[in-house]
Amino acid sequence: MTAQVPDPEPAADPVTAQAARRRTFAVISHPDAGKSTLTEALALHGGAIAEAGHVKAKSGRRGVVSDWQEMERARGISISSAALQFEYRDHVVNLLDTPGHADFSEDTYRVLAAVDCAVMLVDAAKGMERQTMKLFDVCAYRGLPVITVINKWDRPGQEALALMDEIESRTGMVPTPLTWPVGIAGDFRGVLDRRTGDYVRFSRTAGGATRAPQDRLDAGTAAEREGDVWHTAVEEVALLEASGAVHDPETFAAGASTPVLFASAVLNFGVDQLLDVLLASAPAPSARRAADGHARPVGAPFSGQVFKVQAGMDRAHRDRMAFVRVCSGHFERGMAVVNSRTGRSFSTKYAQQVFGSDRSGAEEAWPGDVVGLVNASSLHVGDTLYADEPVTFPPIPAFAPEHFVVARARDVSRYKQFQRGMAELDSEGVVQVLRSDRRGDQSPVLAAVGPMQFDVVTHRMEHEFHAPVILEPLGYSVARRTIPTDVEVLDAQRNVEVLWRIDGTPLAVFSDAWRLSAVQRDHPRLVLEPLAADRSA
């Protein structure tokens, strides 16, 4: 595949040229499919680090971290997302990390708003799992192209053709393998490169800690060496050819087909191929549509969107960091930018580029890059920052919460701190904080995609805002967007309540889907819109 990566198109201006060199993507997968392992392997191949194991150690990482991150670590999960950047074959690859635990999938949704492509990592034995499907739906909703990697081929698993059927039936995308495994799952010898017909033979290294050597052999030599195993791969590839499972850039870009690769992240097999496909086929950053419908070309003056806000990354400074995806223009540290929501200017003196757990000053960034801004207390998830020419990007959709609790300050004399904490956690997107007419301002309702988000609230309210909370579960599980004129009718229904978002949108929440259907049946004129990327929609 080496020969297939085109040189970036020569472009007229430096910004467009820098954008063309960039690939910004995230990995979506079910926990344990190997996302951390693949991230390390990619970084290793990209030369970002000398040896695997440095990107995201799941345990034993020391340093200045906040209590709540320690709490997450103790549970073997990481909720701190960062971006990993490395150069590879004259391109710049930005891999945006996503949290591993399903309860924090809302963070993953936001990261998907900041990438141009997703890599869907599938465990060869388990196939399409729940969380993979949920995140795939978000990609489909956003129209993101998806590259599929079948991982753990070194271990016994399903048959490759059966996996292709499963991907097609579950996602609706036509899988178009670019490589095909030589050897069944558990006996991974190498891959057949469908574009050249060659055999790429892998060799193991101790522990997979270094780049795995690979040789490229022609079909004749492969047949001599591998015998039946090679012939099986050739026959299966002929079946794929006959069924039209052939890579097509247009259907890939439209999300109708997905190139597939086979890999073993832990052995570093198939990682080069993934990088080559990213460079050759994944989209570079391109014009982004603004809320008014106009597209902002990458060559326009600087603009970017906040996709994540994180507090307490550094306990010594009690800082709050906003992660901004650069959408257009050239970002230079210290430049004056404006927050389009507030109209106020924001200092970028403390811009930092984020690499794993290390942070170093970013002097400049280009479309597709991620910049971390400290002292970001005025920035909210979804905010647009710009220089010179004003622009506002559409808000990042808030996803359908499925868990609801009512919150109260344990100590009423700490109500001020309680309110401050709630506002902060809402603007960071830790949970959605909703107002209930029935319950009053003292008792907001918190809405989450996963219940562990509430643990973060409890912990941070106590340790960071010194206002311990009592959370009582509410028996709702379905939310729909409604309009103010329908609120009265809805609020009168049994097992239904109307809650208000900070932006003034009313949400109707129902005990379950049956209750929702019953209300819809009895009152067909009510506006009850599903929230974005709601699977039950």
Question: E strands along 126-281, which residues?
Answer: 146-151, 174-177, 179-182, 190-193, 198-202, 214-217, 257-262
Q: How many residues does the chain have?
A: 537
Q: Rounded CA gap, 44 and 356, in Å?
A: 13
CB of 269 to ligand GDP, least distance (A): 8
Cβ closer to ligand GDP: 67 or 129?
129
Q: Are 508 and 497 in contact (CB under 8 A)?
A: yes
CB of 208 to ligand GDP, least distance (A): 8
Q: What are phi and psi of 456, to 5 degrees?
A: -65, -40
Cβ closer to ligand GDP: 186 or 390?
186
One-letter amino acid for residue 65 of the chain? V
DSSP state string for 44-88: HHTTSSSSTTSS--SS---SS--HHHHHHHHTT------EEEEEE
- Measured over the CA atoms of residue 218, residue 220, residue 221 and residue 223, the dihedral's sign is positive
Q: Report the residue from 72, 97, 103, 154 that binds ligand GDP according to the rule CB under 6 A.
A: 154
Q: Report the residue from 152, 189, 325, 480 that binds ligand GDP according to the rule CB under 6 A.
A: 152
Instruction: Give me 118's structure tokens.
Output: 């997703």
- Judged by CB under 6 A, the stretch of 13-21, 147-155, 335-343, 420-428 that binds ligand GDP is 147-155
- Going residue by residue from 233 to 272, which x/- string records binding to ligand GDP, judged by CB under 6 A? -------------------------------xxx------
Residues 64 to 103: which contact ligand GDP by CB under 6 A? Answer: 100
Q: Is 29 one of the binding residues for ligand GDP (CB under 6 A)?
A: yes
# residues near ligand GDP by CB under 6 A: 16
Q: Report the residue from 151, 158, 273, 328 that binds ligand GDP according to the rule CB under 6 A.
A: 151
In sequence order, what are the residues at sequence separation of 6 or more whose Cβ sits closer than 8 angstroms to the Cβ of residue 475?
495, 511
Q: Rounded CA gap, 382 and 384, in Å?
A: 7
Instruction: Give me 499's structure tokens.
Output: 């809650």
Q: Is 157 one of the binding residues for ligand GDP (CB under 6 A)?
A: no
CB of 258 to ligand GDP, least distance (A): 19
CB of 146 to ligand GDP, least distance (A): 17
- The residue sitting closest to ligand GDP, measured at its beta carbon, is 34
Cβ closer to ligand GDP: 33 or 433?
33
Residues 31 to 50: which contact ligand GDP by CB under 6 A? Answer: 31-37
- Name the site residues for ligand GDP (rule: CB under 6 A): 29, 31-37, 100, 151-152, 154-155, 264-266
